[in-house]
Chain A
């Protein structure tokens, strides 16, 4: 087999894996959009906040220590304990639920029935707020996140492929774990939204706030629910990306990688997020490999994802799996 082809296969596989990581972030967006028609600009920052909180809890950091020290002249930093990863994840999930409740209580409930752009704007405010809060709470230094996920080349795949092709493929263990977790998340979320009464209510709220209110669906409850779910998904994404690149501000920028995925897959579709992620992942890696790096001098990933999404959208304006836009007069 020609070398280029083997490389292309390796790139494709890695692209698929990268796509799953994008999809994890996109999933959080989809959940909230589906349930409330809100384009949650703060999703990336939520992932950052979740990851920071997780690390903070694990390391026994004193929250707001910086502020406390500045005001009271104290010298607090650590509680001096160390909490196992699993327990810390549970605690952080609790914090994310609390955050969801706050979002509902202080933001969403005051904005029932407002047009999408206004809700979008509220999430911008939220993003600013959370960014400031996470820094103030945990400090803006980079933190190391290690919840025990395996990382590095998967030797088994390396060996197997080496025996077949004479060239061992590189697949990152972390990506494999991410793929499994993403698959689990997607299946359970889909089942939830399709087959449970809360799931149905979520979709109803997305269609028409007022009507949902009128049949007795408590928007407050649904919103706490979806924001909690989105918070949990953000935590998962935060763990994956944080393990990869450390926990610090830039983590929130992964949202930018999720946007083209979202648009390509459709804002409202959970499977769309996954399929979109895979297409973008593979597309941008292959493009960089075959065209970008050799002919354009590389670093094409950022815009290529968007251009790819754009091309798809021209043919399917609601995204691959998005709900058909009902246009009637």
Chain B
């Protein structure tokens, strides 16, 4: 057996986001086990550990599961990621933060054990601006963009990038922090109503998302100018708002909907067979698909590691090595039954993130579906990469880390 701890949060304030993901991840692994008998003959043992999105419980989960041969940690929370980076590095277990966590971990020269793929917050901010620019016909000169953000380290992530971009493209940036938990946002939205920004970006989390979308609907802000990050763009955020949420957009790094053979297989072979992790109602939701995406990439990495190591029962170190040379092409995605589900991945020792592409999806309230309304777009590497370099080097200095990959 190969053990993958799943630090899930099915309870607590963020459970609505945590449950679909957890279901998706487990169900995909169940599919692999049931259909293929695991990867390379080794069944995947998903070791669920409930964190309730709480850092201390995350640490406890880590300590509890690491002795069981954990191949990789997917911390499911930026806070827990930060706890685990030093610990897991010392224990030589790779960490994969799936588009959250420490952005500068992209720099594999510094962060030997940490991966942040497929895309980072800074990439996201840049893609959002790019998309806005496209909408405005190529220029943002003199435009106004408001950022509504969760007043925490996570919410503040895009600010630096956006500031750099506002300088470059000549738009005005209005910052509107919302304190946790964010149930009351009158002040922020009245301000948006007064200032009439051309776009509103949102880095929100938990209940803050619904309230923001609700308030936006209330003040009749044009929803198609309102773009959330991938953590502000799932069914849990828009469904409670109902009709008003129609047209709301968010970034995403994987496909939406259920039109993928693998998802259909999950439906028939796992959920309908009564082997699903949840009640099946989350199937095909954004969070669920995120779980499927993560699981698929992990499974691919395992397969790759097995090939490299020549043995089926691989170690965390071998897994790390495989991650650093991982290639998942479009064809391979196709073969997995996930054709067009996500852009191809190609990692290297230096770059612990790939493909660093994000698309925009839009909510159709009536149909109750998300649809991609843009291609996968690249961020403005000119802006983002220096920031990553700067931050990761500072970390290397602080912790006396020697650069690798040379």
Give chain A's interface residues, CB within 8 Å of chain B: 7, 10-11, 14-15, 17-18, 21, 65-66, 69, 73, 75, 77, 135, 140-146, 151-153, 170, 172, 241, 244-251, 253-254, 257, 284-285, 288-289, 292-293, 297-299, 301-302
Contact = CB atoms under 8 A, between A and B. Distances in A.
Given A14-B186, A170-B190, A245 B236 contact: no
B183 interface: yes
B239 A254 contact: no
Contact of B16 (A18, A140, A285, A292): A140
Q: Is the interface of A mostly helix, strand, loop or mixed?
A: helix
B187 A289 contact: yes
Contacts of B206: 250
| Residue from the set A15, A69, A253, A298 with the largest chain B CB neighbour count within 10 Å | A298
Contacts of A73: 274
Those 6 A-B pairs whose CB atoms lie nearest each other, nearest first = A246-B240, A250-B207, A299-B177, A142-B16, A140-B15, A288-B187
B94 interface: no
A299 B178 contact: yes
A248 B19 CA distance: 13
A301 B176 CA distance: 12
Interface in B214-246: 214, 217-220, 236, 239-242, 244
A244 B183 contact: yes
Interface stretch (B6-14, B65-73, B83-91, B305-313): B6-14
Given A69-B279, A141-B236, A293 B187 contact: yes
Interface of B: 10-13, 15-16, 19, 151, 175-181, 183-184, 186-188, 190-191, 193-194, 206-207, 210-211, 214, 217-220, 236, 239-242, 244, 274, 279, 281
Given A142-B239, A146-B242, A288-B187, A249 B177 contact: no
Given A7-B194, A297-B175, A244 B211 contact: yes
Contacts of B181: 250, 253
B190 A245 contact: no
B151 A253 contact: no
A81 to B, nearest CB: 18
Contact of A248 (B16, B179, B190): B16
Given A15-B186, A140-B12, 7 more contacts: A144-B240, A241-B183, A246-B239, A248-B16, A250-B13, A285-B187, A298-B176
Given A170-B219, A248-B16, A253-B13, A142 B183 contact: no
